[in-house]
Structure 1
Amino acid sequence: MDGSVPTEAPADSPRDGGKLVANIMHFARALRMAGLPVGPGKVLDAIAAVEAVGIGRRDDFYWALHAVFVNRQDQREIFNQAFHVFWRNPRILERMMQMVLPQMRSEPQPEGEEMNRRLAEALLQGQEAVLGDQADEEKVEIDAAFTTSDKELLQSMDFEKMSGAEMRDAERMLQRLVLPIAQLPTRRFAPSGGGNRVDLRASLRGALRSGGDIIPLALKKRRMRPPPLVILCDISGSMSRYSRMLLHFMHALTNDRDRVHTFLFGTRLTNVTRHLRRRDVDEALERVGTAVGDWSGGTRIGACLEDFNRLWSRRVLGQGAVVLLITDGLDRDAGEGLSGEIERLRKSCRRLIWLNPLLRFDGFAPKSLGVRAILPHVDEFRPVHNLDSLGQLAAALSRPPARRGEAMAPWLRKMEEVA
């Protein structure tokens, strides 16, 4: 739906038996169940906004609620569908809700357009809560298939196909995800009885304590520490369906270990590391949403990588950093300058792993210019579309990396075949 609304005035005033305030509360509850960050404060703001503009015109009513409940571009589609379904009061909603709503006429939803599954589930739950005792008087049979998958099915379910309840279960599972990156030796040493080097200073201090007759040899070994982890995540329109779950994944990583640096990019690069360090995930994501201004837009991968290489690479890619590049490779600039920037990024880090949700398709082939520019310069190419793929990533990072030529040889051959 394009977000346009007709301008006819409502047939009935809310004072003529309509329960406008209660309906706004139920509408806000449905939006929250569908994933929008709606709290009591926004409900009060919405009521005040409607009182200010009135309900004489439907488009004024629409944009008053839109201004309060929508603060990111990726929330517009869910709000638009929810508004047209909830406030037009079609026959099925009359039978389910049995409420007096302001009668507002709107254009019917185009035939064949599928409602967002999380939104449909949220509206159904909200309507069940409103019915109360009236549910016993009249039953409406709806085969909505709004059932929560068990854990095994949830592991393999695509993020795009999850309902609201399933996404909440997946988010809780992501908070418990551990990403054990293989530790690397550092330049510093630590005392160790089984070390392979003599700690001269500690040995001399021990000799002074014993009067110098005996010099006990103190040993040391190199300290082991996980390398820095740098995440570059695409939040363009083609990746919007996965952005929410990936942000939960990045929040879990940031709070699980130190030296995790997160950058989001669409048409420009944004460092959100500081925001994701908030322990509360809702607060962290709200701050990220405020800081990032190019949600669900185009993608300029080459330009964003150029900004990263020029402004951030020396700060965050030291000590053998591992880089996770999360993007589908669809570039608005048709790969202009991308090959050189991705090559520079690869030479600046220890390991470059490309996570691409398009790999969920069996028939995926490296045909786009962006994919062909990136593919020759990465160490590993993995899917990222469900919990299983993230678990496989965790297992791969806990092992020593395979030789780059062996891991990428099949994809390089396939790229030559489709050239």
Structure 2
Amino acid sequence: MTERLAPDLAGLAAGFGALLREAGVPASPERSARFAAAVGIARPGAVHELYWLARVTLVDQHDQLDAFDVVFRQVFGGLADVAADRGDTAAPTLPQRRRAGPRVRPREGAPEGGSDVPTPTSAAGEPREGEDDEARVLVTASVEERLRHKDFAEYTAEELATLRRLVEELRVVAPRRRARRTVRAASGRRLDLRRTLRHSHRTGGDPVRREYRRRRTQRRRVVLIADVSGSMEAYSRVYLQLLQGAVRGAGAEAFVMATRLTRLSRALATGHPDVALARATEAAPDWSGGTRIGEALKTFVDVHGRRGMARGAVVVIVSDGWERADPALLGEQMARLSRLAHRVVWVNPRSAAERYEPLVGGMAAALPYVDVLVSGHSLHALEDVLAAIGTGPTAAR
């Protein structure tokens, strides 16, 4: 049963709640979230266990049980006769007092009181429009779960369209750092002498009321550099979408590299997403060309990094490490970059292979200066990328 609940649990709970509301059960989004959290904690191993988790989190009135039982059996395809768990002798039917929504009747030819799944109908007795909504919820969740662990290089054209929507939902969150400037605080260890003395004038010079200040926090700059050479073609389109989300959501700086470095921050920050992606592709004429990672990083450090863009920033490099030029140049530039950046994250889709070892000249030269190495080859692996950017477990160099 646990494997059936794996696909996008939040989406499944939301869809289930929507069907319950349509059937007259006031299952609010908050209750749906509570149901998803309960399933994630309890991890039910049987349908009847899932039934009770859903019932205690989504139902609060006894007269809602009949409608709840019918919708539960609809969504989970008649896997269990939930009426038997409550000692009822017949399968429940939806109450007739509802103001709106479909009525449910047994399938033609189904035995009375059996466990066959009811077919939803309209008020006129005809099958209601959208009767397969609950099936679509499950199918969509199943497809998304299958795609979560599939390598981007193995996606079909249809799956890439679904992947685009899923990647757009990801959010790059920049880590926070303490700034030099201070702000007022209710308490603390740093006394605000100016304000304290000003208030003491009201109490005869006695500083009865003390004022404090603390250092404010601000988000670190995030810089993403994606390899768009021929060896990364299967992954570059996906990461270009991630770059666009990072630029718009976290104010990140975005670059692509192949035989040279191209800055895409402005192209990805403005306009419609499709137009921005088209402009980004046009701005990199060496797309799907060769790879000169060392020269591209040298350009970044010389032109942008030393001027402040890389200082104290989280720098994310997406590349498989295939370097056509001298790997020694890449190692030299990575050493310079590591001294400027707060953290260097390297995303290598090839590292997901079981027998992968960083023996390629470019990757071997860069690895000593990488704080976090992640694969990022699938939708599930992208979570590791986002975690490395936001919190970043720092590996020993």
> For this structure pair, what is the TM-score category when the shorter chain's length is used for normalisation?
0.5 to 0.7
Query: For each residue in 1:157-196, what CA deviation from the matched residue of structure 2 results, as whole angstroms up to 9, or x when unmatched?
Result: 1112222332222222222212334321111111111332
Partner in structure 1 of residue 230 of structure 2: 237
Deviation at 1:367, TM superposition (A): 2.1
Deviation at 1:332, TM superposition (A): 1.2
Once the two structures are superposed, the pairs formed by residues 2-401 of structure 1 within 5 Å of their partners are: 150-208=143-201, 212=205, 214=207, 216-258=209-251, 260-278=252-270, 280-317=272-309, 320-399=312-391, 401=393
Measure, in 1, the Cα distance between the counterparts of 2:243 and 2:172: 11
Measure, in 1, the Cα distance between the counterparts of 2:202 and 2:167: 53
Query: For each residue in 1:239-261, what CA deviation from the matched residue of structure 2 results, as whole angstroms up to 9, or x when unmatched?
Result: 11111110111111111123x11
Measure, in 1, the Cα distance between the counterparts of 2:275 and 2:242: 15
SS at match of 2:362: helix
Q: Which runs of 4+ in 1 moved over 6 A?
A: none
Measure, in 2, the Cα distance between the counterparts of 1:253 and 1:400: 16
Measure, in 2, the Cα distance between the counterparts of 1:319 and 1:195: 29
Deviation at 1:399, TM superposition (A): 3.0
Deviation at 1:280, TM superposition (A): 2.5
Query: Do the aligned partners of 1:204 and 1:215 also contact (CA within 8 Å) in 2?
Result: no
What percentage of residue pairs aligned between the two structures are identical? 33
Measure, in 1, the Cα distance between the counterparts of 2:189 and 2:148: 44
Distance 1:400 1:237, change over 3 A: closer
Unaligned runs of 5+ in 1: 1-146, 406-419
Distance 1:401 1:188, change over 3 A: farther
Partner in structure 1 of residue 71 of structure 2: none
Deviation at 1:360, TM superposition (A): 2.1
Partner in structure 1 of residue 394 of structure 2: 402
Measure, in 1, the Cα distance between the counterparts of 2:388 and 2:294: 27
Query: For each residue in 1:362-411, what CA deviation from the matched residue of structure 2 results, as whole angstroms up to 9, or x when unmatched?
Result: 12122221111111111111102111111122233443533424xxxxxx
Measure, in 1, the Cα distance between the counterparts of 2:202 and 2:378: 60
> How does the TM-score come out when normalised to structure 1?
0.58
Count of matched residue positions in the alignment of Structure 1 and Structure 2: 258
1:175 maps to amino acid: E
Deviation at 1:214, TM superposition (A): 4.7
1:236 maps to amino acid: S
CA RMSD in angstroms comes to 2.1
SS at match of 2:278: helix
Measure, in 1, the Cα distance between the counterparts of 2:198 and 2:275: 51
Query: For each residue in 1:335-373, what CA deviation from the matched residue of structure 2 results, as whole angstroms up to 9, or x when unmatched?
Result: 241111111111111111110011121121222211111
Measure, in 2, the Cα distance between the counterparts of 1:401 and 1:221: 27
Distance 1:400 1:265, change over 3 A: closer
Distance 1:207 1:169, change over 3 A: farther
Distance 1:209 1:297, change over 3 A: farther
1:154 maps to amino acid: L
Query: For each residue in 1:259-302, what CA deviation from the matched residue of structure 2 results, as whole angstroms up to 9, or x when unmatched?
Result: x1111110011111111112521121111122111100001111
Distance 1:217 1:254, change over 3 A: same
Query: Do the aligned partners of 1:156 and 1:388 also contact (CA within 8 Å) in 2?
Result: yes
Distance 1:270 1:299, change over 3 A: same
Measure, in 2, the Cα distance between the counterparts of 1:356 and 1:215: 59
Query: Do the aligned partners of 2:223 and 2:310 also contact (CA within 8 Å) in 1?
Result: no
SS at match of 2:210: coil
SS at match of 1:186: strand
Query: Do the aligned partners of 1:228 and 1:316 also contact (CA within 8 Å) in 2?
Result: no
Measure, in 2, the Cα distance between the counterparts of 1:180 and 1:281: 20
